[in-house]
Amino acid sequence: MALTALRWREDRLELLDQRLLPAQSRWLTCHSADDVAGAIRDMAVRGAPAIGISAAYGVVLAARALGAAATAATLTPALDTLAASRPTAVNLFWALARMQRIAATQQGATLIQALTNEALAIHDEDRRMNHRLAAFGLPLLPEGGRIYTHCNTGALATGGHGTALGVLRSAWTAGRIRGVIAGETRPWMQGSRLTSWELMQEGVPVTLVTDNSAGHLMQRGEVQAVIVGADRITANGDTANKIGTYGLAVLARHHGIPFYVAAPLSTIDPALPDGSSIVIEERDASEVRQIQGTPIAPAEVPVQNPAFDVTPAALITAIITEHGVIHAPDTANMAAYLAN
Amino acid sequence: MALTALRWREDRLELLDQRLLPAQSRWLTCHSADDVAGAIRDMAVRGAPAIGISAAYGVVLAARALGAAATAATLTPALDTLAASRPTAVNLFWALARMQRIAATQQGATLIQALTNEALAIHDEDRRMNHRLAAFGLPLLPEGGRIYTHCNTGALATGGHGTALGVLRSAWTAGRIRGVIAGETRPWMQGSRLTSWELMQEGVPVTLVTDNSAGHLMQRGEVQAVIVGADRITANGDTANKIGTYGLAVLARHHGIPFYVAAPLSTIDPALPDGSSIVIEERDASEVRQIQGTPIAPAEVPVQNPAFDVTPAALITAIITEHGVIHAPDTANMAAYLAN
């Protein structure tokens, strides 16, 4: 049975609480859109695709609470609350827009059923899409290589299988790569807590390192490619992703190592011309001052804690989607791809 | 009263236990060379200059234990134990070589007194040297800039004042810089636990960030220079320093930001032609799997934990020592400087 972090139970959404992994596997139950928005904001669920899917189910929960009164208008507060939960990942807004389109033409019980079907479709499409994406990404990876990844882009971050980690999973199963190096990904430790846990569960060889080790390993020839996910990709291919991604892209370029971004088409936001207009979420100082509640710095030390950074398209070897590969992404290549 | 982490008490060495900072300020007492070697190995004391000073006092403790039997020959086991405590910082071997030279010509009570004087001299020279080094480094820093530093190179890492952090301290006091950005420096968190604590004690404006944030801040124009210390500098200027330093140097070069190394002359090891021959210490996996004893990863996940990396001289704008500045370090520039 494939690993999953999202379970839809008709009247509730169950989320594998990613704040507690790997120490505890505890499921959090969301009964309302507010519950879902809170789970997204507090990172019980994270990963751009998983956030989008959860938000879609959140809209269903709001509609169910409204019952016969459910309409596009009465759903607006719930849609707003969900949209405000996190600012950077575009899949959230994309999923909510899909739900909103459904709401525009129906109401009451019919609407609830239609929204449920749409959320289930978003969830199911994501799972299938990740497998298609992995098939496109697999042949790009250097044979017998050790591949470096950042953050968590696996089953826990998506509807299942994963984006960048889905490529790595498929590549390992196909015997193409030698193993995965997971950067721990401070401050939230998605690499140590989630990625290494996911890969160990499936027997994929993984080595955990501090984010500080990436340059050293590349310098020693121990990394053959880097692959990461994305939270938002602009019209020119600039990519917002977990803080630290940009530094990895600069290091990969310096060492002549390919740098891949794996993300579903829904991550591309053609309304933004380039990365300069992406809102970068600044998260709480406590994420840097403490780890899992343990203080590691003076309590009052000033902190900057950007959660994402933007990698210019020029540093990206290719963007891998469920519909194919965009090599050397720039405005022209992106537009040509999106036109198909 | 200036911050200090080393107190010599004639029959014992007291070390401010850096594993417990900033939560607790507890002094660890070393009564023997073995105690000192253990404190170095377990990082109760760390920082290349502080390790060298501690080792020198360790030799004194060994000589005192031998009493009338103290000779170059009887001191050998203690010298070997101290030399084996950590492999990368050359100041350790440099300090032990100074002590060994003293031991070559005397014995018994005379030797104990001579060794005590030599250890006190090493300690005192380091303190004074750091102030001279800071005076050379200060004018290099961009006026009104925010300067990024890595690891801890302050009073806690030296006999007092600090190397890279000494430059920053002096530059702040002189009104030259706007503030310091401290990278937290996983896995050991010298930046969050020690550097930010040291700077806050003295009112120097410091902002703590995850190591992953460095690239993003440089991209946004928020960093005007990088300054770090060194554990070993080879004949061509290649510099071994805390893991993550190399990545910062690549990022600084990519953004056209100056990258400075501040270290006493004793850090230069002219016997090594370049960085490829530097032994890089690999530390225990628990440093990556846990933080302050709290598990943050699967207990059995494979780990690579290199404690240092090597920055090629070509990425270093200048090396700042207590005798002056080596601009654009390479074999010729280094040799010319050392010849003076």
Average pLDDT over residues A172-194: 97
pLDDT tens digits, B5-59: 999 998 999 999 999 999 999 999 999 999 999 999 999 999 999 999 999 999 9
Binned at pLDDT 50, 70 and 90, residue A253 comes out as very high
Residue A306 has what DSSP assignment? B
B302–A207 C-beta distance less than 8 A:
yes
Q: Which of A181, A211, A296 sits opposite B193 (nearest CB)?
A: A296
Q: Does A216 touch chain B (CB under 8 A)?
A: yes
Chain B residue numbers with beta carbons less than 8 Å from the beta carbon of A295 are 23
A216–B184 C-beta distance less than 8 A:
no
Q: Does A7 touch chain B (CB under 8 A)?
A: no
Give yes or no for residue B93 having a pLDDT over 70.
Answer: yes
Would you name the residues of A annotated as active-site residues? 231
What is the pTM for the complete model shown?
0.94
Region of A309 (left: φ > 0; alpha: ψ -120 to 50; beta: rest) is: beta
pLDDT tens digits, A25-82: 999 999 999 999 999 999 999 999 999 999 999 999 999 999 999 999 999 999 999 9
Q: Note the pLDDT of residue B27.
A: 97
Binned at pLDDT 50, 70 and 90, residue B291 comes out as confident
Q: Note the pLDDT of residue B193.
A: 95
Chain A residue numbers with beta carbons less than 8 Å from the beta carbon of B184 are 186, 288, 296-297
Average pLDDT over residues B170-174: 97
Q: Chain B: give the shortest CA distance to residue A175, in Å.
A: 20
B23–A288 C-beta distance less than 8 A:
no
Binned at pLDDT 50, 70 and 90, residue A316 comes out as very high
Q: What percent of chain B has pLDDT over 70?
A: 100
The structure tokens listed for A225 are 């490619």
Binned at pLDDT 50, 70 and 90, residue A291 comes out as confident
Q: Chain B: give the shortest CA distance to residue A278, in Å.
A: 13
ipTM of the complex: 0.94
Q: Note the pLDDT of residue B43.
A: 94
Average pLDDT over residues A159-173: 96
pLDDT tens digits, B95-132: 999 999 999 999 999 999 999 999 999 999 999 999 99
**Across A135-149, A289-303, B267-281, which has the greatest mean pLDDT?**
A135-149
Nearest to residue A319, comparing CAs of A248, A243, A234?
A234
How many residue contacts between A and B have a Cβ separation below 8 Å? 192
Rg (chain A; Cα; Å)? 19
Residue of chain B minimizing CA distance to A250: B251
Q: Note the pLDDT of residue A52.
A: 96
Give yes or no for residue B2 having a pLDDT over 90.
Answer: no
pLDDT tens digits, A94-131: 999 999 999 999 999 999 999 999 999 999 999 999 99
Place of tokens 């955990």: A208
Place of tokens 């759903």: A75
Q: Note the pLDDT of residue B279.
A: 87
Give yes or no for residue A1 having a pLDDT over 70.
Answer: no
C-alpha–C-alpha distance, residues A2 and B325, integer Å: 59
Q: Note the pLDDT of residue B269.
A: 93
> Are A301 and B206 contacting, i.e. CB atoms less than 8 angstroms apart?
yes
Of the listed ranges A251-260, A271-280, A311-320, the one predicted with least confidence: A271-280
C-alpha–C-alpha distance, residues A155 and A231, integer Å: 16
Angle A72-83/A90-103 helices, nearest 10 degrees? 180
Binned at pLDDT 50, 70 and 90, residue B294 comes out as confident
Q: Note the pLDDT of residue A174.
A: 97
Please, what is the end-to-end C-alpha distance for chain B in angstroms? 35
B219–A184 C-beta distance less than 8 A:
no
Candidates A217, A245, A296, A315: best to mutate against B (most CBs of B within 10 A) is A296
C-alpha–C-alpha distance, residues B222 and B208, integer Å: 13
Average pLDDT over residues B211-227: 98
pLDDT tens digits, B241-261: 999 999 999 999 999 999 999
Chain B residue numbers with beta carbons less than 8 Å from the beta carbon of A217 are 304
Residues 6 or more apart whose CB falls under 8 angstroms from that of A148 comprise: A180, A181, A183, A214, A217, A218, A223, A225, A226, A227, A248
Nearest to residue A225, comparing CAs of A268, A196, A256, A246?
A256
Would you name the residues of B annotated as active-site residues? 231
Q: Which of A196, A291, A305 sits opposite B291 (nearest CB)?
A: A291
C-alpha–C-alpha distance, residues A78 and A62, integer Å: 6
A304–B206 C-beta distance less than 8 A:
no
B278, B282, B311, B335 from B274: Cα distances, Å: 8, 20, 10, 13
Residue of chain A minimizing CA distance to B19: A296
Residue of chain A minimizing CA distance to B212: A244
pLDDT tens digits, A203-222: 999 999 999 999 999 999 99
A187–B302 C-beta distance less than 8 A:
no
C-alpha–C-alpha distance, residues B303 and B292, integer Å: 17
Candidates B296, B305, B315: best to mutate against A (most CBs of A within 10 A) is B296
C-alpha–C-alpha distance, residues A149 and A228, integer Å: 6
Neighbours of A26 (CB within 10 A): 12
C-alpha–C-alpha distance, residues A3 and A11, integer Å: 22
Chain B residue numbers with beta carbons less than 8 Å from the beta carbon of A302 are 205-208
Q: Note the pLDDT of residue B305.
A: 98
> What's the mean per-residue pLDDT of chain B?
96
Give yes or no for residue A2 having a pLDDT over 80.
Answer: no
Q: Note the pLDDT of residue A292.
A: 79
Give yes or no for residue B88 having a pLDDT over 90.
Answer: no
